[in-house]
Amino acid sequence: MNTAISARQKAALERLIKIAQADTGQGRMAAEFLLSWWNASNCGGFDLTTLWGVDTEIAADMITVFALVVSCHRYPDDLGYGEEFRQIVRAWRPALRTRQALAED
């Protein structure tokens, strides 16, 4: 298990996070991919055929991040990206956010 993140992996992850924060079709697909890593049980899985609909550069970043997930065995928050992923949840999974808020009260 390698817990280090390379500069290439970090750049790919940060590009996907930025794309996932945009209210676009590509943003939705990037968000689905990232949230399946964050918590597939609550946020939903990722249909690999979604890759057919993303730009080639985004697909390449997804492949790089997939390799990161395989090699590091860590969740995004363990890598310092918790707040960025919470922002993606707020944007793309508002019902989940509401359930979490109710559970915390």
Alpha-carbon distances of 48 from 11, 52, 94, rounded to whole Å: 22, 8, 23
Mean pLDDT of 80-105: 76
Question: What is the distance of C-alpha 98 from the center of its chain?
Answer: 20
Cα(47)–Cα(98) distance, rounded to whole angstroms? 25
The band of 1, judged by pLDDT with boundaries at 50, 70 and 90, is low
The band of 94, judged by pLDDT with boundaries at 50, 70 and 90, is confident
Q: pTM here? A: 0.87
* Cβ 2 vs Cβ 71: under 8 Å: yes
pLDDT in tens, 37-83: 998 888 889 999 998 999 999 999 999 999 999 999 999 999 999 99
Residue found under tokens 């080639």: 56
